[in-house]
Amino acid sequence: MTIGRSLFLHLIAQRVPEVLKALRKLSATYSIIPEHVFSETLNGPRYLRTRNQGEWLLYGATPEPELVCLPDLLYWKNVSSLATTHPSVGKLEEELTKWAKAFHLEDEWLLDRALQTLYDWHNNPTAKERWGGLPASYKWVLAANERSFTFQDDGWGIEFESWEEFLERIQPALKVHLEEYRQRLVTLAATRGSKPAPRNPKQIHLLWLALYQCLGRSPGDVLEDTERRDMDVSSVTHAIERASKAIGLSLRAPRKGRRAKM
């Protein structure tokens, strides 16, 4: 989950609370799913955890990794197949699809998060209305020594050159070195099936996206709410489009009406 996606969900929870309130109502449907369904873990999420984490952290014991397999029901791609053998899952699929359409949150990664949130609430019914998710599990694509950046120069000759002259002398060399560094890491990451993360949208643009997507606000409505004098409807529209592309969100269809341009 990218930072942009996490922030988008956080803003929905804070500024569009009706999204999670509506999802919470599906807990009743979720609760009638037989417990044995959650033992089906062939196609569910997997992550590594340290079995002896306490001894490892406190006493320096050798870490003992173990693979944890979570229920198939935590991924939307598995719901249809589970529904064929478990009618209660079919009911959940129907209601979750209606929820997603109501708030225009129909992309698979959002449906995954909705399922994971319902699972968290199922295990902890008193939990607050916040997004659930999978346990944090991240592996660096490049090792620390591979991503390390160094640049060496004799430094500022303070006795015979001004600071401005020093900057003028060193910046071209630094720029070349940075570009070589960037190319080296991009190429190395590509050999391991990875690529640089996209630039994260600004928080205010993600908020506009949440209001547009989930509440049906037009860019004009959003502009009025923000009271930004340095923006116009076109600027807000482009910001919403860029933010949706950055986090992989399919924008809803434009509203019909005189004011709606998007």
How far apart, in whole angstroms, are the C-alpha atoms of residue 69 and residue 111?
19
Express each pLDDT in 1-27 by its tens digit: 688 999 999 999 999 999 999 999 999
Cβ proximity of 119 and 134 under 8 Å: no
Per-residue confidence at 224, pLDDT binned at 50, 70, 90? confident
Backbone angles phi, psi at 46, to 5 degrees: -135, 145
Domain spans, the chain: 9-123, 144-190, 203-247
Which two structure tokens, joined as six digits, stand for 93? 């699929």
pLDDT value for 190: 93
Express each pLDDT in 114-145 by its tens digit: 999 999 999 999 888 899 988 776 567 888 88
Mean pLDDT, residues 69-75 taken together? 94
Average pLDDT, the chain: 90
Q: Which of 53-57, 158-162, 199-203 has the lowest mean pLDDT?
A: 53-57
pLDDT value for 67: 87
Backbone angles phi, psi at 69, to 5 degrees: -110, 120
How far apart, in whole angstroms, are the C-alpha atoms of residue 216 and residue 60?
54
Express each pLDDT in 167-195 by its tens digit: 999 999 999 999 999 999 999 999 988 88
Tell me the pTM. Answer: 0.78
Cβ proximity of 11 and 222 under 8 Å: no
Question: Residue 88: CB partners within 8 Å, gap ≥ 6?
Answer: 29, 32, 33, 34, 37
Phi-psi region of 60 (alpha: psi -120 to 50; beta: other; left: phi over 0): left
Q: Is residue 260's pLDDT more than 50?
A: no
pLDDT value for 28: 95
Which two structure tokens, joined as six digits, stand for 128? 């607050």
